[in-house]
Amino acid sequence: MKTTTYLLGFILVSLLGACGNDSPSMPAADQSVDKEHQRDHDAGRDGPRLDAAVGDSVQGCEAQRTCRVGSSFADCGEGQAAVYCSPERCVWVSDGCPTKEFKAKLLPNCDCTGEGCPPSPIRKLFWLQRGSEEWTKDRSMVIAVTEDATSGSTPAVASCTGCVAQCQGVDNVCTGTPSASTVHYDTAVVTLHPGGSHGWSLEIEVDKTATPPKARICRLAFSDAATCTVGVPMCAESGDLKLQNPLGTGDLRGQFSATFADGLVVSGAF
């Protein structure tokens, strides 16, 4: 009787084991991948990652994206903006992710982390000139741009009204003889610089993709002995800009007038 009972039990166990093997088990490699994904999920690392050409993995950042770049911004989409740098300059990146050009993150104390940090004077000058408010492609773009084949001057000239405290004891385009230089990004940027070691220059940035083109004209501080100080840039509230060739790729030539909130009016040609 006992032999019969043991035999029935053995048969039952064998049948149950066979039923349990109807579904194939996950291969060892797949189990490993699944465990790795679970660890990433538990650590909050789900989401796209940057490739090696862009920089270290940053949660929520996309490896490939298109950015429009200006003198102080990289418009890469929506997100929490942050400042990133190349070895030559720094910009506000709109989605808070490094790009293939701007990989090093600039901190408010002028420290820099990541690949390709610029020298300390460039980092300090960025905060002094740009302040702590995000620069975007549309910020202060209130200057109408028109085409005028007769505009322009070589060398550059500038004249001002209402320049009292803004001009006292500092180098500026109102009391100095400015030089003009043009740099092309996705925007065109003309800088009027008075020379000297401490004061303010004038930056004219043209959005050539706007219809019609538009611009911003801003006063930017500079200092050869800049400390890590957050400045307060000021951009014109109104004005006009006439260019010989608004969509040109060489040195821009034109004339302008800009009115600022503190009463300063700057006009000139380049």
Q: What is the distance between the alpha carbons of residues 90 and 84, in angstroms, rounded to a whole number? A: 6
Nearest-CA neighbor of 129 among 223, 22, 43, 61?
Answer: 223
Contact status, residue 113 vs residue 107, Cβ threshold 8 Å:
yes
What SS3 class is residue 221?
Answer: strand
pTM: 0.77
What's the confidence (pLDDT) of residue 182? 96
Q: What is the pLDDT of residues 94-130, one digit of tens each?
A: 999 999 999 999 999 999 999 999 999 999 999 999 9
- 254: amino acid identity, one letter: G
Q: What burial letters (b/e) apply to 194-205, b meaning 16+ CB within 10 Å?
A: beeeebbbbbbb
- Please tell me the predicted confidence (pLDDT) of residue 59: 66
pLDDT reading at 78 higher than 50: yes
Q: Are strands 143-147 and 254-259 parallel, antiparallel or unpaired?
A: unpaired
